[in-house]
Amino acid sequence: MTPSARITGSGSYLPARILSNKDLEQIVDTTEDWIFSRSGIRQRHIAAEDEFTSDLALAASREALQSAGRSASEVDLIVVATTTADQVFPSTACLLQERLGIRGCPAFDVQAVCAGFLYALDVVYRYVATGASQCALVVGAETFSRILNWEDRTTCVLFGDGAGAMVVEASDSPGILSSHIHADGTYKDLLCVPVGVSTAYQEILNGRAYTEMQGKEVFRWAVSALGDAVIEVLTTNGMDKAEIDWLVPHQANIRIIKAIAKRLDLSMDQVVVTIDQHGNTSAASVPLAFDAAVKDGRIQSGDKVIFEAFGGGFTWGSMLVQI
């Protein structure tokens, strides 16, 4: 019998510094009210100057391992989803592996921006379900503040830094029930950092690698693609909307989250919302939200949970998990 891939532990980390909407009024031409009413964000965490994505990933990973009751030496696969790697190479996953004090197991990064964690978890799911991994560590970690133009009010007010991690193990009990990831590169220009090491290395050296977004267009696509994605996951599993206990959505905009909850006929009491506290932490947003709801006791063993996320690429996906 093929094993299922169960989430056996989770952890998270948020940098100490909090930047409120009020603080942002001093930085760009915006208001506390505009940010909250358009996005649902009240504050976000910002990494210290000497704090890097691997630091955030390490703190979240340690907590996830502890909550799973596993030691780092038992991990046989590390996958890190990030858009903001410490270095061009080695991967953040390799840096994390070294800092966890383990050697030999495969470790690599996955890059799908805000859908990155779902992509990473999809990979881990397939490794574990085929018996190639028994105990995997999957992390979403971002220092997104580093790729923001702090003079562009249309983007800098939306994002934050953080990390979330999960331990996924082979099990005889149900776990991840199905995973569905998608991409459409024709929309590459609507949400991007339009420079990279191959095209404009000088821009990167000058610290001018900034996120650009056509907000309205992205919003429209996110609502449509995520609406289809949550129906896809239900249909695949022959499941009724009423059987879902929780939605753990990507935290990009509360209005997008509400639209998807409505598509699933879920009350907002069944939706994990952290956007007010975290902003959009890109690949870290789903595991951060999941961990918050596990820690405060909302998500319990046996619950059926839908994860969804949408990001630059476009990339998007959905997953159904029994906890």
Q: Under the rule (CB under 6 A), what is the footprint of ligand UT7?
A: 30, 34-35, 38-39, 114, 153-154, 157, 215-216, 218-219, 222, 252-253, 256, 280, 310-311
Rounded-to-integer distance, Cα 232 and Cα 128, Å: 22
In the set 105, 250, 253, 278, the catalytic residue is 250
In the set 105, 156, 278, 280, the catalytic residue is 280
Q: Which is nearer to ligand UT7, 158 or 266 (CB)?
A: 158
Whether 149 is catalytic:
no
Q: Which is nearer to ligand UT7, 52 or 219 (CB)?
A: 219
What residues pair up with 19 in beta bridges, in sequence order? 44
Q: Which is nearer to ligand UT7, 9 or 140 (CB)?
A: 140
Rounded-to-integer distance, Cα 258 and Cα 284, Å: 20
With tokens 């978890």, the residue in question is: 121
Residue number closest to ligand UT7, CB atom? 215
Nearest to 78 by CA among 136, 128, 164: 136
Smallest separation (angstroms) from ligand UT7 to the CB of 60: 19
Smallest separation (angstroms) from ligand UT7 to the CB of 150: 12
Whether 180 is catalytic:
no
Smallest separation (angstroms) from ligand UT7 to the CB of 26: 13
Q: Which is nearer to ligand UT7, 11 or 313 (CB)?
A: 313
Q: Which is nearer to ligand UT7, 27 or 88 (CB)?
A: 27
Smallest separation (angstroms) from ligand UT7 to the CB of 23: 13
Q: Which is nearer to ligand UT7, 26 or 301 (CB)?
A: 26
Smallest separation (angstroms) from ligand UT7 to the CB of 144: 10
Smallest separation (angstroms) from ligand UT7 to the CB of 117: 12
In the set 105, 114, 135, 156, the catalytic residue is 114
Catalytic positions are 114, 250, 280
